[in-house]
Amino acid sequence: MAVVEIQADRRSEVTFSGGRAGSGPATWGQQAIWDVVRNLGTDAARYNVSGGMPLPSPVPADRVEAAVRSLVLLHESLRTRLRSAHDGRLDQVVHASGGIPLVTRFAAGEAVTEAAYALRDELLAVPFDATREWPLRVGVVHAGGGIRYVVFFLSHTASDGWGLRNLLADFATLVHGTLPRRDLLQPLEEAAFQTSDRGRRRDAAARRSWLSKLGSGPASMFPARAGTAPAATFPNAVLNSPALGLALDRVAADLSVTPASVVLAAAAASATRITGVDEAVFQVVVNNRFLPGMADGVTTIAQEGLFHLTGTRVAFPDLVRRTFGAAMSAQRHAYYDKLALDRDVAALDSTCDHSCFVNDQRGLMPALGFAAPAPAPLREALTRTTLTWPVEHEPRRGVSFALDAQDAPGALELAMTADSALMPRDDMTTFLYGIEELIVTQALDTRALDA
């Protein structure tokens, strides 16, 4: 058998020029993510954003580079750096020219996907310096005479999951043609809106809503362990559930709510079983793409809304329907000046516990060729659920737990990081399996799926 020699990675740049340059205040989204990431220390790379796609046939490298160049010129966030201004605030600086790092990995034809996943893992683990580096890196896999896979890596200050989805859609169009003209709201224009009278009114309304909810929730979501010192490390658990992948959308459709509401309701009910607290307060990540020109943009706009739900010990369908209304309230008030909100909260005599986070990332963090859930009887799919503990993270200030719902090959994953002083591993296990049990049982009860 002949030995195929694979070349070493090639590192180069995709140069760009001719774009608009400018500077101004950072947007609320840029500022909020900056403040989060700078406190993560060596764990900062976990907030990088990444997604990729296979190319059905080899594409010339110069065409891929041309598409990347067009993306960078179209979406100003991809050529923006941040700098400290005053009072803890930031400025954004948009550059007209530069060079985006490009890593090319060479692979044999049958190993393209494997090479893409390996490249993704390696580059995703490298943090960004948003003040000195471009907030975008690109990795490609070269095989069969051209590029067969493209993976994008972004600083979270440049894009959220919705923005990444837009970037991939634009790239898929550009690599084969041209994009139709669109009027995009760039981050400099968004910042101008935020300092306008209308923007200030929206900010003030959102902060009033937050402060009202902070004054009405439970003092602790974990009363039995309140006041304990945070654990030295925060375990990370990942529940991979083919059954959830089959059941979630079905339950949402049957109850006429969003899938995100189903996840929130199940998280609230499962937490109550562990803590005994008959209400839930979660910070939930909200899209926020409501202004004209935002829907198709590549930028970081998503922020947390405060979700508060009382009376969680009820039948699950009733809880889901009530969750939908509470989630809508959180979404209406998730666009605000985080620095101003932090000052407001610091001035309060007391607040409810708002240290739990839920983020539904399904469909927002595009996967590298993830397949749809395999068609299978739901009860049989339940037997294929796995729970793993991939890593332990550094303690996260102000976080009791963070739960992400995300796509996986043929499954839905619940990834959770928690302060084990408040939620020991046994409780984390019970919590995650409890979410699965509530949603899958509801799907089975509808008799809409083959049990």
Residues 56-91 as b/e (b if ≥16 CB within 10 A, e otherwise) read eeebebeebbebbbbbbbbbbbbbbbbeeeeeeebb
With tokens 């440049």, the residue in question is 158
Q: Which residues are 84's β-sheet partners?
A: 90
pLDDT at 368: 63
pLDDT at 2: 40
- Tell me the residue length of the chain: 451
Mean pLDDT of 223-232: 93
In the DSSP assignment, the letter for residue 380 is: H
Radius of gyration of the chain (CA): 22
Confidence of residue 370 (pLDDT cuts 50, 70, 90): low
pLDDT at 40: 73
Question: Cα(11)–Cα(9) distance, rounded to whole angstroms?
Answer: 6
pLDDT tens track for 298-352: 999 999 999 999 999 999 999 999 999 999 999 999 999 999 999 999 999 999 9
Question: Cα(425)–Cα(417) distance, rounded to whole angstroms?
Answer: 10
Measured CA distances, 448 to 167, 207, 260, 407 (Å): 36, 42, 20, 22
Mean pLDDT of 127-136: 94
Question: Cα(163)–Cα(170) distance, rounded to whole angstroms?
Answer: 11
Question: Cα(90)–Cα(261) distance, rounded to whole angstroms?
Answer: 34
Confidence of residue 183 (pLDDT cuts 50, 70, 90): very high
> What's the mean pLDDT when you consider all of the chain?
92
pLDDT at 239: 98
Q: What is the dihedral of CA 57, 63, 66, 68, to 10 degrees?
A: 20
Mean pLDDT of 262-270: 98
Q: What is the residue extent of each domain of the chain?
A: 10-191, 197-446
Mean pLDDT of 109-138: 92
Element (H, E) at 253: helix 242-255
Backbone angles phi, psi at 9, to 5 degrees: -55, 145
pLDDT at residue 5 above 80? no
Element (H, E) at 408: strand 401-408
With tokens 């049958």, the residue in question is 110
pLDDT tens track for 33-67: 998 888 776 677 888 999 999 998 999 999 999 99
Choose among 280, 252, 276: nearest CA to 363.
Answer: 252
Confidence of residue 362 (pLDDT cuts 50, 70, 90): confident
pLDDT at 449: 43
pLDDT tens track for 390-399: 999 888 889 9
pLDDT at residue 258 above 50? yes
Q: Is 284 exposed, middle or buried (0-12, 13-18, 19+ CB in 10 A)?
A: buried
Element (H, E) at 282: strand 279-286
Q: Which residues are 16's β-sheet partners?
A: 98
Q: Considering the entire predicted model, what is its pTM?
A: 0.90
pLDDT at 337: 97
Question: Cα(210)–Cα(284) distance, rounded to whole angstroms?
Answer: 12
Confidence of residue 11 (pLDDT cuts 50, 70, 90): very high
Half-sphere exposure of 446 (CA within 13 A, CB side): 19
pLDDT at 365: 58
Q: Which residues are 202's β-sheet partners?
A: none
Q: Classify 234 as helix, strand or coil.
A: strand
pLDDT at residue 145 above 80? yes
Q: Which CATH superfamily is domain 10-191 in?
A: Chloramphenicol acetyltransferase-like domain (3.30.559.10)
Residue 311 backbone zone (phi > 0: left; psi -120 to 50: alpha; other: beta): left
Q: Which CATH superfamily is domain 197-446 in?
A: Nonribosomal peptide synthetase, condensation domain (3.30.559.30)
Q: Give Dmax (Cα) for the chain.
A: 74
> Amino acid identity, residue 22?
G
pLDDT at 140: 97
pLDDT at 44: 78
Residues 6+ apart with CB under 8 A from 435: 239, 244, 263, 266, 267, 270, 414
Q: Provide the total of helices (H) and of strands (E) in the chain, helices listed first.
A: 12, 15
| For the chain, percent of residues with pLDDT exceeding 90 | 84
pLDDT at 90: 95
- Helix residue spans in 16-175 (DSSP H): 28-37, 61-74, 112-124, 161-174
Q: Which of 7-16, 40-49, 165-174, 223-232 has the lowest mean pLDDT?
A: 40-49
pLDDT at 375: 65
Choose among 416, 408, 367, 363: nearest CA to 243.
Answer: 408
